[in-house]
Structure formats: C-alpha cells, structure tokens
Structure 1
Amino acid sequence: MQAFIVFSLSLILCCSFVACGYSDCGSEDGAIVSLEITGCSNTAKRCILKRNTNSTLVLSFTSNVESSSLTAVVHGVILGVPMPFDLPNPDCCKDSGITCPVASGQTYKYEGTFPILGSYPRVTVDIKWEIKDKDGKDIVCALIPAKIG
C-alpha cells in the first residue's frame, strides 16, 4: 500500500512538472530555476505561439561553471527531427540581461525575444532552448512543448 501511495505522489509531481510547460533536456553545467514565455499559461501543456508576433523567453538559471561568453542555441523539434532556428541575438552577454563573464554558483536571468513569422506552418513543435558556455557545453537545456497557431 505504501508503495502505491509513493508511486501515486510521484506521478502527480511528474504531471505537475510537465504542466509547467518545460522539461530539462540535459543541463550539464547549471540548473534551470524558472522559465516563462510571454503569452503562455503556466498551466498549459503546450505553449501556443501566434504567428506574426514576437515572444520573449525569460529563463532564470544557476551556472556551475565560469564562462567568458554564453550563446543561445535554439532548435524546433518536429517528429523527433531538430531543425535549427536562427535567433536575432544569440549572444547571451549582449542585450539579454546577463553581463559576462558569468561565475560559478551565481544565478542569472536571460531574456531572449524571437519572432513567430507568418510564414511558419501551423505545427506542433518542441522548442529546444540551450544556453552554452565558451566551450560549447550546455549550461542549461530546456525543452518547451509548443504549437504554432
């Protein structure tokens, strides 16, 4: 009976995490503290991104390494196939709320704006958003279930 209760509580916590709108997809040298995207509900299972608009991702994270530079790398994953997405500003140390170098043990707040073009097809997509250190290793990696509408 106790095993059933523990399993049930674990399942509820797992489902609550998915409902928050993102999952960690392999943060190597840091940890995600919080993640929000403008226009998305914290209770929605998929973030609905409206075409012909801009969205802003706000990602708070703690770095476990020192790095003189940070780069944002984004992929749209459709049917398991990652497709690169060019950001207007991939340099996380410029106009994103972060001043480099970053220090180990510190928490940072990154803000990145990205366009949802009218030419994008109406598809279900998982957004893989990575922040990489100077050596190309993921400090954080978030997988965000989304739908372009």
Structure 2
Amino acid sequence: MKRCVGILVVICLVAIARGEIVNFAKCNESVKCTIHEVRVNPCPEAAHNKPCLLLKGTNATITYDYTPDFSAKKATAKAFWTQTAMDLPFAGMDSEGCKYTSCPIVEAQRQTYSYNLPIHKKYPSRAFDVKWELINEDQEMCCFIIQIAIKAKRDRN
C-alpha cells in the first residue's frame, strides 16, 4: 500500500512540474519550425482556455517541444510583449538559447526548450500576447505567441 501511494505521489509531482498545455498561435513571420506543444507552469487557467495568470515576484516556466527545419550551432532566444505597432522585449531575459535547449540544434530532430521566466514586480498588471522566438545564426527561427495576464499577488482574484 505504501509503495502505491509513493508511486502516485511521484506521478503527481511529475505532472505538476511539467506544466499545463496552453493554446498558442503561430507567428506571422517566415517560420522554419514546427511547434508541437507549449506548456506553462503554473497555469491552472489553461484547463479553461484562459490566459495564464502570472503573479509579480514569482517565476513561470515556459517549455515547448519543437522540430526545426534548420540546424544551428548557436541559438538566440527572445521573448516580446507583442503589439500591433511594435514588439517590446522582455526585460532581463537570458538570450543564450543553448542554455535552455540542446545544441547543436539538429534539423528535423524534435527537441525541448525550457526557460524559468522571472515575473518582475515592475511589469505592468495587464493581459499580454507574448511572442517567443528561437533563432539560429542565419536568422531562421521557431516562433509562437501565447497569452498571459500579469497581476500583483494581492490582486489574484
């Protein structure tokens, strides 16, 4: 009985650590990549097809599975608040993509990228479309857009 409970606890912890599968949109740019799945942890809102509610002063893990139509020895990662007029880069994001996915990136090989994103207290409280890019030396990229909402801890509800 204790063994069954232990196994169940491990399964639950793995499911929690993996994150919630979220809806995503393809970018308009010429993308040379297939995005299979995007996960955000924490994001219980994904079960209701709502934007992930991220609290200021916490971290969120963004993970996605992709198959590139390109190879790369080095990769640059970028995230933006995307708007009609322009894209504003996420302040303080580490752009060294190979720290968060396996490099070299191999064409037609499915890979995973995972980044722990700090939600700074200085970020404005509102809903955002976030564009995430992984770019090689020739400017070929994987790209997708997800929706998030940022709020102060006291404004969670």
Equivalent residue, structure 2, for 1:7:
none
Structure 1 runs (4+) deviating above 2 angstroms are 41-45, 77-81, 86-89
1:72 to 74, 77, 80: 77
- Secondary structure of 1:93's aligned partner: helix
Matched residue, 1:145: 147
Which residue does the alignment assign to 1:126?
129
Structure 2 match to 1:36: 39
TM-score for the superposition, normalised by structure 1: 0.77
1:85-100 aligned at under 5 Å gives the runs 85-94=90-99, 96=100, 98-100=101-103
The structure with the greater share of residues assigned to helix is 2
Percent of aligned pairs with the same amino acid: 26
- Per mean C-alpha deviation after superposition, the further-off stretch among 58-67 and 41-50 is 41-50
For the structure 1 residues 146 and 83, does the alpha-carbon distance in structure 2 shift closer, same or farther, using more than 3 Å as the test?
Answer: same
Q: How far off is 1:87 after superposition?
A: 4.4
Give CA-to-partner distance per residue, 1:49-96, whole Å, 9 cap, x none: 1111011101110011111111111101256542111344211212x1
- Tell me, yes or no, if structure 1 residue 54 matches structure 2 residue 59: yes
Offset, 1:111 = 0.5
- Report how many residues are paired: 128
Contact 1:87–1:114 (Cα < 8 Å) also in 2: no
Change beyond 3 A, Cα 1:136–1:86: farther
Q: 1:103 matched to which residue of 2?
A: 106
Unaligned residue ranges in structure 1 (runs of 5+): 1-18
Secondary structure of the structure 2 residue equivalent to 1:144: strand
Asked if the contact 2:79–2:93 (Cα under 8 Å) also holds between the matched residues in 1, the reply is no
Instruction: State the partner residue of 1:117.
Output: 120
Higher relative contact order (CA 8 A, sep 6+): 1
How far apart, in 2, do the equivalents of 1:33 and 1:46 lie? 19
Distance in 2, matches of 1:63 and 1:76, equals 23
Determine if the alignment matches structure 1 residue 22 to structure 2 residue 24: yes
Contact 1:72–1:129 (CA<8 Å) still a contact in 2?
yes
Q: TM-score, normalised by structure 2?
A: 0.73
Distance 2:85 2:149 in 1: 15
- Letter in structure 1 aligned against 2:143: C
* RMSD of aligned alpha carbons: 1.9
| SS of equivalent residue, structure 2 residue 31 | coil
